[in-house]
Amino acid sequence: MGYYVRVESDVHIYVEDINRMSQKTILFIHGWPANHKMFEYQFNQLSQMGYRCIGMDLRGFGQSDKPWEGYDYDRLADDVRSVIGALKLQNITLAGHSTGGAVAVRYVARHRGYGVSKLALLAAAAPSLIQRPYFPYGLKTEDVKQIIQDTYHDRPNMLQGFGNMFFFQHITEPFSDWFFQLGLQAASWSTAKVANTWLYEEKLFQDMGEIQIPTLILHGIHDKVCHFPLAEAQKQEIKNAKLVPFEYSGHGLFWDERDKFNQELAKFIG
């Protein structure tokens, strides 16, 4: 079932809600620059296992509204709060991939984990996606600036290049085309503005220290986007966190090792 949640007077967020009668709920937050459909292989299997799977499209992406402003982590986390409140969710698992994982971290810290009893970080872009003087493990600043420039000049080519580095396992050309289309459904300005927040605003070192709920970290060791040392930093900074490395996965571990991914997530939730 799909519907919209109003998060501002003129901004609505699209939500896909599967197996609504289940008491075990997972709210998925997708990564940049895709949308909730990237979790297709979780929705199919986990719903059959008895879980309620909710996917939301972040503002600017997928079927959500695409305003000009509002792409910092605070605003995106506030959108998550609006969705959780509108759906009256309680004791859920919040699962975020890549930038969605960063938003999930900010949500738990900013909103004190409202409605959330467990956190799953899936190749999360935390504590910092880019390299900093005190954190040398992320992407190079110039590479992110190139992504932003390419977004404004040839977004389809940028998306294709990003997709080519996303998965570790072999993907078919039809699958590659499908994944490419997910990125095209976003607005160009939201695609660029979220990337811009990686550079100048968003770091999550303090946020991670405020997380008190059980946290599962799933991360591919071949990840070329959010390098594996990010997962190790998450494990070190988040109390009560468990790290599960994925030896045959890149950034797209939700597909690369989807059976293991779903099993680990289900085992964590219980």
pLDDT value at 53 more than 80: yes
What percent of the chain stands above pLDDT 90?
A: 95
Q: At what angle do helices 188-200 and 141-164 cross, to 10 degrees?
A: 140
Q: Does the active-site annotation cover 222?
A: no
Size of the chain, expressed as the number of residues it contains: 270
Per CATH, the number for 2-269 is 3.40.50.1820
Q: What is the mean pLDDT of residues 34-41?
A: 98
Confidence of residue 1 (pLDDT cuts 50, 70, 90): confident
Q: Does the active-site annotation cover 223?
A: yes
Main-chain phi, psi angles of 138, to 5 degrees: -90, -165
pLDDT value at 176 more than 70: yes
Point out the catalytic residue in the list 98, 128, 190, 249.
98
What is the DSSP code (8-state) at residue 130? B
Left if phi > 0, otherwise alpha if psi is -120 to 50, otherwise beta: which for 152? alpha
Task: Answer for the pair 256, 155: CB distance below 8 angstroms, yes or no.
Answer: no
- 0.95 exceeded by the pTM? yes
The tens digit of pLDDT for each residue in 214-241 reads 999 999 999 999 999 999 999 999 999 9
Point out the catalytic residue in the list 30, 219, 227, 251.
251
Listing DSSP states for 254-267 in one string gives HHHTHHHHHHHHHH
Listing DSSP states for 131-148 in one string gives -BTTBTTSB-HHHHHHHH
Q: What is the mean pLDDT of residues 11-17?
A: 98
Task: Answer for the pair 230, 134: CB distance below 8 angstroms, yes or no.
Answer: no
pLDDT value at 203 more than 90: no
Q: Does the active-site annotation cover 98?
A: yes
Name the average pLDDT for the chain.
96
Point out the catalytic residue in the list 65, 79, 207, 223.
223
pLDDT for res 201: 66
